[in-house]
Structure 1
Amino acid sequence: MRGWFSGRARGSSQSLNSLEEPASSASHIMNDDMELAESELSKENTSFHKLGLGLLSFLKAVLGFERELMAEAQERLNAAETQATESYNRVKHHSSHSQSQIYSPGSEFLLCQAQVQIMGAVIGVLTESVTESLRGFYKLRKAYLTLDVLLAEENAYLKKLEAEGGKPIKFESETTDSSTSASAEPSRAASTTDLTQELAGKDFGAKRAAPAEAESDADEFFEAAEVPEELPESTPQVEKDLSDAMDSATIKDADGVPAPLLRRLSSHIQEGPDAEIFTNSIDAFVHSSSNLCYGMLLLLLSMLPPAFNTLTKIAGFKGDRRRGIALLWQASKFGNLNGAFAGLVVLGYYNGFIGFCDILPETGSGAYPKERCQELLETSRKRYPKSGLWMLEEIRSLSNERRLEESLERLKNMPDPKLKQMVKLNNWSHGLYYYIAACAHIERYRELLPTDPEKAAEQAEKVTTLFTIIPNHIGKKRIMAKQMPFDVFVARKLAKWTARAAQHSVPLIDAVGVSPLTEMVYFWNGFKRMGNVQLEKSLVCLGRSQTSTSIPWETEDVDEKAILSVMKGVVHRHMGKTHEARVELESVTAKERTLFKGGNKDNWVAPAAHYEMGVAEWVDYKATGDQACLEKAQKWLEVSAGWEAYDLDARVGIRVKTGLETVKREKGEAV
């Protein structure tokens, strides 16, 4: 492999000497040799070396969620963006120096800019700051504009090849927006924002940057105003003001008119061209990079929870999951770091996101391409034999096939990766980690209580200790000035159990309701990865919830009984017993919504029950072909989709949204 930057297609004998050294250095990242990659990339100060260092810091930051790592990543990404901008300005007018057959001079440096802008946006959101999140999404808009223009140039070249008698390339129909043109470069002023004017009522101390000189307007892809200069330094009051005001904010173009929603203007390659077409190293780099970046943008934006809707509105675009995956598959054809990174995202999507959902098509768009994923994984494991990233994807693939014990054994025996953020507990989730540990001890306590009270008491002591620790680790981390959803969930659970203990005059551990460990399994859809042996054990755990507390089951709260019914229903469905599943779920869906509202009640259980009814109908439809089941599935899902806000609604909502899209496509309806 010649690395990320050379991007040499398989079978090509061409490359550019200027890219060879950073190419070789960057290749170590995907083979889990981070120290060697860092050492070699630090030797030079080219755009490509700095891009590699930025990627390295980015990976550490997003895996570790540590503030120091995020600060380092931001610093390196800013340096890489500055270097890429300077490099582009040096070569943009010199077409004679360009070795690209497809793209405008300096496109490779624009791709460097776009890549660091996308990574910087992710880091900005993770810093917990509304200000940094806004800066990040403005940079996403810059990257989006760059990628759209480059892909328009590429499509024009590919159509020319086809017209000259080359191999036919399948395109989707043109998507043309009358408000903009893909053939022209976006001007610097075209996407300059007017957010700070709209927020002028707040004393943010921000000022509008001066417009760029006219002579340079036609030469730059991006707006003159750098967002960090337009937004104030972050303080608690600024964060609150920005968060409160963003909902009414819009992005405006230079003439003061709200900017149109950006969408891809160029044709989308449905079955992308062979990698061998891009024999020139620069062309291969730009093609694989643009497909990687555009694909990641479209995919990630399509999966953002509702809390980020305002930011995507400000940035001016939204995602497209189907197109995003197609672009990432295209990038994965290349034996370089772009291809490797795209492959990781693709496998992460199918092993993670798709493995998280229940209602999925079996063929066509959106279906899990098992053989193709397996081929990608095998190729990548051979190319990067030392990398823990690929080993982890291999293990996740096994768990998605319900080979849970085998995957756990492989995980135990997996060599320690050099990228320590893969194995360390990150700094964001300690409260959740302690909570899950407490849930495991609660289950062990209930298991031991009838036969070994002494050992059960030891488990109870551990639970009590953890319950004391948890409050010190929740409510401190925020995204977009809002608490983490699981922090809110855990805090409510502890408050609920404390109140129940006082109400019934029982120890706190005996006031815990239906198996909280099983709840955690549900929220990560762990049942989907279990075989019948593990599913039977889950039913046993749930059964103990009715007998191992000091609160008589017949006097239990409505929401606790509903949790038990939903959990049993889910387990029965995974065991192929949809009738039994419906019986359990209907005991919940028949109840009034108001019974699950207010106080410390588990308000998620009712919408989850409606969703699970939809899944049961879908399973029966796939087994019988009965259209009535398909209609019922859609109705149940639509009820769940229209539910008001509730705990962890993003986690259930992702499943509902994916399920509705699948059902509508099955019926031939537009999605």
Structure 2
Amino acid sequence: MKRFGGLLGGKAGSSASKSLTALDEPHALQEALAAAALILNDEVEQAEAELAKGTSPFHKLGRATALFLQAALGFEKPIMEQAAARIAEAEESASEHQRRAIRDPSSAHQSKIYPVGAEYALCHAETQLMSAVVAVLNESLTESLKGFYKLRKAFGTLYEISEAERKYLAARGKGWTNSESSSGTSASTGAEDKASNDTKTSAESSGVLTPDTVGQEDDADLDFVDAEEAVPDQMTPGGYQGHLEPRDLANLKLEDADRKLQSGQPPSSQPSTNGGIAKTNGAVEDADSFDIRTVTSDPIDLFIHSGTCLCFGLLQLLLSMVPPAFAKLLSLFSFRGDRETGFRMLWSATKFKQNINGGFAGLITLGFHNGAIAFCDIITKDAMPITRLASLLREMRELYPKSRLWLLEEARMLGADHQLEKAVSVMSQGGPSPLKQVEALRTFEKALALMFLHRYEECAQTFIACVGMNNWSPGLYYYIAGACHVELYRVYQASDPVKAQESAAKADKYLHEVTSHTGKKRFMARQLPFDLFVNRKIAKWEQRAKTRNCSFVDAVGVSPIAEMSYFWSGFRRMNEEQLLQSIERLAWSEAQPQWQQQAEALDEQAILALLKATCLRFLGKLGDAKKTLEQGVLAHDAVVIKGCPHADNYTPPVAHYEMAVCLWDEAGGQDGDRGLLEQCSQELLKTERWEGFDLDARVGLKVATARQTLVKCGIGSV
């Protein structure tokens, strides 16, 4: 059997830090949390200085978190390397202190709720999650696979901690439910065994999985796997030994874990078929409705609870939002997540806004809603809890007034409400952030908003400014800056030839800068999708210029700015005036000789039809949108579109997705016409089953969200 010590694995290394005693721990934790909170106020240097004064696992975790945030925001390889080293140091320290606590429980903190050493086990799990993210951001496939393996290990630890809390609360009739007994977990009931088997065999249909035995069979071939422990059969000790014996983690689903934490009832793998949203078990309260502070005021217990909710919630949320194409890789590790469970746990963690766990939970909750969910098309009515999010944002800004991250979230909320001008104004407040990664992110978001506002000159300038701020994707910055000047060239072509030629020169310059800034980075050993996309685009326009004997800028196809607006969810943020302006920019292409002579390439025609249909949909003209999709894209053989020179191959699968959205809107959403919702599901299925296509990951998130929404409505399955 595995225990906390087994889950942490590895060998104890030397440590410069003295083992904390039960009396030392609360002070060290309080000191580290106070310092780490400065990170959420953009005071990273001060946080680093304060955290460097201590050597406890809490201090080391805080220092690792400071660098991790910079690495995750900036994607800069030197920062990622530094973060990886610091995370490894924190991981070793947490592991060593956890082992010491197990060896000598009398000298460690004694919790009424959690096993001895749980606080260090949590620290270790947090380092594993951070390490996994950094590994995936690394350009090495091997490192990425190691990262996924660490996710598996972190899940086991987090589950054990959660189980300890659940059993303690259930025994006292408190917490999320009082319906489950506090009996031990060493023996499952027959019903539980059957539920485990049922959920395992219905893995693909349930949509929520954790590491299973398939992955474990292959572990022996991996050089980064923990060695199996040889644990002799022993008598059950008379007293509590500071360990938890988990349920069968290998065969347990993430959905199982959450529902057992809440109700103790076996999960159902079948979606609701009553025409409405599937209901949670009647005995279950929302996970975030219970406040652990009604049970304990122990600061270490509160740290464990908030940290577990943060990490477990984030893990489930991330896994639930993986695009279909990437999900195939994660299926090797039997990973899927549950979005609702993830958000419930994150909301629970936000009760502790004053500590780093609660602060990060707030940042993640706002970020995912404002940066992902808000720009999905097929979602339930309650998917965006606007009032609650606004309240959370207000509280975060009051607690951390210097941080530009909260200003960024406010701007995103304004953009989602079609108030792009106000969003730009908010992002211009407060001066530059002392954290360069935050400032680069804010500048990038401002540049996107300017693009959606059709303020092309300012947009181009802002994207060029991004080039000097970080090296995340200079090819993207140059590409959009060049595309802005393509639009300006077209705008001024008839009215101001001088300005038109100035913009043509800048467009030519910036677009030809793209290729020298792409192809160098890798994600899991593969070239970045956007790099492939823009390099193909530029090669396409070069060929068109030669074939048509025209300038490079005149050879550019359908509005690349409108195309970028689509892939960055810009049409959803535009108001009516801005959408009509987008349609006007698209109309420019149709007025050109090639179009008039019906000689334009079919893939270009399909791009225009797709983009125009999307604008029409957002204007509420669903009939016109569907007709445009059918006649402009879906009426053509996808093979023919794909056969065009340097073809844009994304239009057929994306058109099926857009048709699904039209049907969803036409049905009236989640409680609408069942026949139309079934048609919506069928159109979505066509996109899901399509082979890989340009920038499919950018559409994949929307597709994954749409499928989960439809399943909740009792339509289709995952």
2:643 counterpart of 1:633: no
Correspondence for 2:344 = 326
SS in 2 for 1:128: coil
- Count of matched residue pairs: 602
2:478 maps to 1:434: yes
Task: Give how far 1:178 is off.
Answer: 4.6
> 2:67 matched to which residue of 1?
57
- 2:300 counterpart of 1:300: no
Q: Is the aligned partner of 1:650 residue 2:697? A: yes
1:42-441 equivalences in 2 (<5 Å): 42-96=52-106, 97-162=108-173, 166=174, 169=177, 178=196, 195=218, 198=221, 214=231, 260=251, 263=254, 264-265=256-257, 267-269=260-262, 270-272=285-287, 273-277=290-294, 278-306=296-324, 308-309=326-327, 311-335=329-353, 336-363=355-382, 367-424=383-440, 425=466, 426-441=470-485
Describe the shift of the 1:559–1:73 C-alpha distance in structure 2 as closer, same or farther (beyond 3 A).
same
Which of these residues, 634, 649, 652, is aligned with residue 603 of structure 1? Answer: 649
- Note the C-alpha offset of 1:460: 0.9
Could you say if the C-alpha distance between residues 17 and 668 of structure 1 is closer, same or farther in structure 2, counting changes exceeding 3 Å?
same
Aligned-partner Cα distance in 1 for 2:58–2:607: 53
* Cα drift, residue 342 of structure 1: 0.7
Matched residue type, 2:428: K
- The alpha carbon displacement at 1:213 in A equals 6.3
Contact 2:378 2:709 in 1 (8 A): yes
Q: Distance in 2 between matches of 1:38 and 1:536?
A: 49
Q: Distance in 2 between matches of 1:22 and 1:464?
A: 52
SS of structure 1 residue aligned to 2:372: helix
Q: Which residue of 2 aligns with 1:229?
A: none
Asked if structure 1 preserves the Cα contact closer than 8 Å seen for 2:707 and 2:717, the reply is no
Contact 2:483 2:561 in 1 (8 A): yes
SS of residue paired to 1:591: coil
Q: CA deviation at 1:548?
A: 5.5
Distance 2:36 2:224 in 1: 40
Task: Look up the equivalent residue of 1:408 and give its one-letter code.
Answer: V
With over 3 angstroms needed to count, the CA separation of the structure-2 counterparts of 1:216 and 1:35, relative to structure 1, is: farther
8 Å CA contact 1:141–1:316 kept in 2: the answer is no
CA deviation map 1:612-660 (0-9, x unaligned): 1111121121189444332322222222222222111122222223223
Shift of 1:463: 1.3
Q: CA RMSD in A?
A: 3.0
Q: Which amino acid aligns with 1:357?
A: C
2:534 matched to 1:490?
A: yes
| Corresponding residue for residue 451 of structure 1 | 495
CA distance in 2, matches of 1:213, 1:636: 53
> What is the identity, as a one-letter code, of the residue corresponding to 1:86?
E
In structure 1, give the amino acid aligned to 2:577. Answer: V
Going from structure 1 to structure 2, the CA distance change for 1:333 and 1:191 (only over 3 Å counts) comes to: farther
Tell me if structure 2 keeps the 8 A contact 1:137–1:311.
Answer: no
> Which letter does structure 2 place at the counterpart of 1:415?
G
Q: Give the residue type in structure 1 aligned to 2:635.
A: A
Amino acid at match of 1:399: G
Check the 8 A contact 2:321/2:704 in 1, yes or no. Answer: no
Q: 1:195 to 1:670 in 2, by over 3 A?
A: closer
For the Cα contact (< 8 Å) 2:322–2:704, is it kept in 1?
no
Distance 1:418 1:161 in 2: 48
Q: Deviations over 1:423-442 (max 9, x none)?
A: 23432311111111111110
- 8 Å contact from structure 2 (residues 172, 178) kept in 1: no
Rounded to whole Å, the distance in 1 between the matches of 2:409 and 2:320 is: 22
**Aligned partner of residue 360 in structure 1, secondary structure:** coil
Shift of 1:105: 0.5
Aligned residue for 1:607, secondary structure, equals helix
Q: Secondary structure at the match of 2:352?
A: coil
Q: CA deviation at 1:553?
A: 5.8
Query: Which of 635, 638, 652 in structure 2 is aligned with 1:593?
Result: 638
Taking a change above 3 Å as real, the CA distance of residues 632 and 315 of structure 1, as seen in their structure-2 partners, is closer
Residue by residue over 1:362-394, the C-alpha shift from the partner in whole angstroms, topping out at 9 and shown as x without a partner, is 14xxx2111111111111111111111111111
Name whichever of 586-595 and 542-551 sits farther off.
Answer: 542-551
> Per the alignment, do residues 392 and 175 of structure 1 end up closer, same or farther by CA in structure 2, a change over 3 Å counting?
farther
Q: Shift of the alpha carbon at 1:101?
A: 1.3
User: Could you tell me how far apart the structure 1 residues matched to 2:150 and 2:224 are?
Assistant: 18
How far the C-alpha of 1:220 sits from its partner, in A, is 11
Q: Distance in 2 between matches of 1:423 and 1:79?
A: 28
CA contact (8 A) 1:63 1:422 kept: yes
Q: Is the 8 A contact 2:114 2:165 kept in 1?
A: yes
Q: Which residue of structure 2 lines up, in the alignment, with residue 16 of structure 1?
A: 26
The alpha-carbon deviation at position 546 of structure 1 amounts to 2.3
Q: Which is further off, 211-220 or 637-646?
A: 211-220
TM-score for the superposition, normalised by structure 1:
0.84
Distance 2:215 2:691 in 1: 36
Q: Name structure 2 gaps, 5 residues minimum.
A: 1-24, 182-190, 199-212, 263-284, 441-465
What is the CA–CA distance in structure 1 between the aligned matches of 2:83 and 2:647, rounded to whole Å? 41
In structure 2, the partner of 1:247 is none
Give the alignment partner of residue 520 of structure 1, picking from 548, 555, 564: 564
The Cα offsets for residues 450-493 of structure 1, whole Å up to 9 and x where unpaired, read as: 11111111111111112221111111111111111111111111
What's the % identity of the aligned pairs?
42
**Cα distance between partner residues in 2 of 1:172 and 1:572:** 52
- How has the CA–CA distance of structure 1 residues 382 and 30 changed in structure 2, closer, same or farther, with 3 Å as cutoff? same
Indicate how the Cα distance of structure 1 residues 541 and 193 shifts in structure 2: closer, same or farther if over 3 A, else same.
same
TM-score, with length taken from structure 2: 0.78
- Against the structure 1 CA distance between its residues 512 and 168, is the aligned structure 2 distance closer, same or farther, given a 3 Å change threshold? closer
Asked if the contact 1:261/1:316 (under 8 Å) is kept, the reply is no
